[in-house]
A and B are shown apart, each in its own frame.
Chain A
Amino acid sequence: MKKKIGVYVCHCGGNISDYVDIEKVKDAVRDEADVFLVKNTLFACADSSQKMMEEDIKTQGLDAMVVASCSPKLHLNTFRGVAQRGGLNPYNYVQVNIREQDSWAHSDNPAGATEKAIQLVKAGIARAKESEALTSMKIATTNAVAVIGAGVGGMRTALGLADMGTEVYLIEKSFFVGGRTAQWGSVAPTNDRGDVLTAGLFNEIQKRSNIKLFTGAELIEKKGSVGNFDIKVKIRPRGFDGNATTDEIQKAVKACPVSTMDEFNFGLTQRTAILIPQKGQYPQQPAIDKALCNQCGACQKINSSFQPASTNEEILSLHIGGFVANTGFDPYEPAKGEYGYGEIDNVITLPQFKRLIELNDNELVFKGKKVKKIAYIYCVGSRQDDDEGKNKYCSRYCCTSATHTGVTVKNKYKDVLNYHFNRGIRTYGKAELIYGQASQQGDVFLQFTLDSIPQVERKHNKTYVKVKDILTAGKTIETDADLVVLVTGMVPRENVELGHLLKIPEGRDHFFNEIHMKLKPVETVIDGVMIAGTSQAPKNILETLNSSMAAAAKVNSVLTKGELSLEPTLAKVNPGACTWCGKCAEACPFDAIVQVDNEGKMVAKVNEANCKGCGMCTPVCPTDAIDLDGFTNAQIGAMIDALAEL
C-alpha cells in the first residue's frame, strides 16, 4: 500500500479547465487518505512541470504519483519517464484521463464534468495506492535460428539471417536442398531457370560459415520458449560417404536392381534406390533410399563410398533462439478419373509438364508421340465447391505459371498450339503482361464455370476436351488435344508432426496460420516461431522470398540484442489457491501456462517469456487464483469502489 501519493491535475491550457473546475477537484481529493500533495499544472507535459514533479518525488519522498490530464495514449510513457527519473518505479504511476473522457466528452455539462473528474481522480488514487512496483525481467537469448526446409524460401531465410549475424541451422528433410523450384526450368516472370536460382542460393550458403546445413534431417524434439529453445534433430544416414566419379555413380545406378517412379520427374521416368542429385539439387552427392534398398550391395562393389548397410543415425542437440518454418507445399494430386487423370494416357499435371519440357530438348514428345495441340485445364484442385475436404481457395501461382508455360513451349518448340480452359485468368499485377504475350502469340482462351466443367474424353483414339465457353455466350466448343495439362493447385505438405512440435495452428485451408494477416503475416501465436514461404499460403517465388526475408527480419530483430525484456505486466498464479484444473492453460492463446510441482502439489505457472499480458486466463479460474499485474483484484476493486461512491 502506497502512503505518500502526489496528485497533479492539469489545466491543459483550458482544454480541461474551461469545463472542469480544477480547484474543486483539488479540494475534493486533498483529504483522501495517503494523498501527500495535490498540485495543478497549466501543461503537465511541459518541461517545467515535468521537472517540478521529479523534484517533488525526490524531495518529498513520494511513493506513488497520479497525473489527471489527457488520454494515457498520449502521455502515459512521458509520465512514467518522469516517475523513473524522480526515482519511482514507473508502475507506481497512474494516469487519469480527464480530457478525452471527461472535459471534452461533457463539454456541454461543466458541473457534471467536474463531478466526474473528482470520481475519476479518486479512482486513480485508489489504483495508485494498490499499485506495485514492476520490473521488466530480462532474459538472455541465443542468436541462433533453426530454419526448417531448404527450398528457395528456406535458403533465402538462412542467407538473410546469416548476413545479419545470426547463426543458422538449416534443416532439410530430403537429401537435397532446392525444394520445388529446382524442378521448374524457366520460371515466370523473369525467365530465370529454377535450377539456376537454387544453385545460386546454395553457392551463397556454402560461403557462409554461420550456416550449418543438414540434409536428411528432421526436427524431433523442442523445449523452451523464445530466445531459448532446446531442440533435437535426427539425421538419417545418407548411405554415401566419400567420393565417387561420375562414371562410378552411373555404373552403380545401373547395377541397382530396384526400380520405382522418380518423384523429381513426377513419375515420367523411373529411378533406382540410389538417389542422384538433379540439376538445382545440392549437395551434388548421391544418397541411398533406405526404404527401397534391398541391401544387395551391388553399388558398394563399384565404390565403397556407397554404404547401403549404414544405419548410423545421428541425433543432434542444439540450442537456439527461434524457428522459421519454410516447409513449402505439394502440388495437388488429382483423383483418379478427375478430367481423365490416371485413366486417359495423355492427361498429365502442370508439374509433370514442366518436367517434360526439361526432358525434351528439340521436340516435344510424350510417350513416343509428337505433341502439337495442348489443352490446359485450370484450377484443378483449387476453387472447388463448398464440400468438406475440398479446396475453396485459389492457388495464386498457377494462372501465371500456366500462361508462362504456354509462352515457353511456343518459343521452345515453335509449332505448338495452346488452348487454355480457364475460370477467369488471374494473372494479377505485372503478370498481366505474360497473359498479353500468350494472347498475342495466338493462344486460345476459353472460359468455363464450376457448373459446367470441361469434359475430357477418349474417342477414336484421340483425346478431346469439350467445354461450354462463356466468352462466346455459352457456345459448346470441342477440340482434340495431344496433351491435356491439368493446372494443379498447391496443397500444404503433410507435416503433422512438425505442426504439433512447434504448435503452429492451421488455417481453414490447412496451410500454417499466421497470427495476423496484416500486422504479423510471418508470426505465429508462439513467440519465436515464424512461418514463411508456401507453408503459410500459396505463393510464387518472389512472394516466397519476400515472406522469408520478412521472417528473417522479425526473428533477427528479436534475437540480435542478446537479451529480451519481457512485458512487466504478466499473469501471476497464487499457488496456494490453485487446484490445477487446467482451465487457464486452455484459455491462454499463447501457450504460456505450464503445470509445475509446487511442494508436492500440481499447480499452474506462467511462463514469463510467452505471456503477453492479455489476462484471458484470469476470469476462467474457478478459485480466482490468477491475477494480471497492474489489473489485480485489489486495484480494479479499489477503482470500482471509488467510482461507485457518492
Chain B
Amino acid sequence: MSTKPKILVFSTEKISDPAIDLAGLLKKHYPNTVYTISVPCSSGIKPRWIMQAYEKGFDGVFIAADGTDCPYGESCVEKTSAIISVTHDLMRQKGLKPSQLKMAALCSVCADAFVAHINNFTKELAKKDN
C-alpha cells in the first residue's frame, strides 16, 4: 500500500479545505496517502515547507489555491504563482522535477475537481517513479 506516491496537500481554511471536506462527505474516494495541511491563504505557503516535504519523503506537493475567490483579495492568484515559481527554482537546484509540484484553484464546493486533480497527480507521480 505504501508504494503509492505520497502527496502533501496545502489547502486554505475558508475556500479549498471545505471542498476537500465535501469530497469526503460525498464519499468520493482518493488515495489514502494524500495528507492535507490547511493554512489561511495559499499565498502564505513558504517554499521552504514544500522543500521540507520532499526532503522528508513526500513524492508530490499539491497546492489547492483560492484563486479569485480568496477572501484576502485578488492579489492571491499572482502571489501564489510567484511562490510556485520560486519553489520550482529551488526544486531544480535539488534535482527535483517541477512536475512534482502542482497547483489548482479550487472553490469551496469543487469536490469533484479536487478528486480528479489528486487522482491524476497520483497517477503521474506513480508513472514517474517507475
Residues of A within 8 A of B (CB): 71-73, 97, 99-109, 111-113, 115-116, 119-120, 123, 515-516, 519, 525, 569, 587, 589-590, 612-620, 624, 628, 631, 633, 636-637, 639-641, 643-644, 646
CB distance from A89 to the nearest CB of B (A): 19
Q: Is the CB of B44 within 8 A of A631?
A: yes
Q: Is the CB of A104 within 8 A of B27?
A: yes
B47 at the interface (CB under 8 A from A): yes
- Residues in chain A near residue B53, CB distance under 8 A: 640, 644
Q: Is the CB of B30 within 8 A of A624?
A: no
Give A102 to B31 CA distance when docked, in angstroms: 10
- Residues in chain A near residue B49, CB distance under 8 A: 633, 636-637, 640
B28 at the interface (CB under 8 A from A): yes
If over half of B's interface residues share one DSSP class (helix, strand or loop), that class is named, otherwise mixed; here it is: mixed
Q: Which of B1-59 contact A (CB under 8 A)?
A: 1-2, 6, 8, 13, 17-18, 20-25, 27-33, 35-41, 43-49, 52-53, 56-58
**Given A104-B27, A107-B27, A113-B32, A624 contacting B48 (CB threshold 8 A):** yes
Count of chain A to chain B residue pairs whose CB atoms are closer than 8 Å in the complex = 138
**Given A515-B73, A640-B8, A631 contacting B56 (CB threshold 8 A):** no
**Given A112-B32, A587-B79, A646-B2, A616 contacting B41 (CB threshold 8 A):** yes
Q: Is the CB of B1 within 8 A of A111?
A: yes
- Residues in chain B near residue A97, CB distance under 8 A: 21, 36
Sample of 12 further A-B pairs with CB below 8 A, known A101-B20, A519-B71: A73-B18, A102-B24, A105-B23, A105-B27, A116-B33, A614-B72, A616-B43, A624-B48, A628-B40, A628-B44, A639-B37, A641-B52
**Given A101-B21, A587-B79, A633 contacting B40 (CB threshold 8 A):** no
Q: Is the CB of B57 within 8 A of A644?
A: yes
B91 at the interface (CB under 8 A from A): no
- Residues in chain B near residue A115, CB distance under 8 A: 1-2, 32
Q: Is the CB of A104 within 8 A of B79?
A: no
Query: Which 6 residue pairs of A and B lie closest in terms of their CB atoms, listed nearest first?
Result: A615-B44, A112-B32, A644-B56, A100-B24, A105-B24, A104-B24
Give A618 to B22 CA distance when docked, in angstroms: 29
Give A587 to B57 CA distance when docked, in angstroms: 31
**Candidates B2, B40, B48, B58; contact of A614 at CB < 8 Å:** B40
Q: Is the CB of A589 within 8 A of B32?
A: no
- Residues in chain B near residue A620, CB distance under 8 A: 79, 82
Can you list 15 contacts pairing A with B, beta carbon distance less than 8 Å? A71-B21, A100-B20, A105-B20, A105-B23, A105-B29, A115-B2, A589-B73, A615-B41, A615-B45, A616-B79, A619-B83, A631-B40, A639-B37, A640-B49, A640-B56
- Residues in chain B near residue A111, CB distance under 8 A: 1
Q: Is the CB of A640 within 8 A of B52?
A: yes
Q: Is the CB of A618 within 8 A of B44?
A: yes
B65 at the interface (CB under 8 A from A): no
Q: Is the CB of B28 within 8 A of A105?
A: yes
**Candidates A101, A103, A619, A644; contact of B58 at CB < 8 Å:** A644
- Residues in chain A near residue B41, CB distance under 8 A: 614-616
B120 at the interface (CB under 8 A from A): no
- Residues in chain A near residue B44, CB distance under 8 A: 614-619, 628, 631
- Residues in chain A near residue B25, CB distance under 8 A: 100, 104
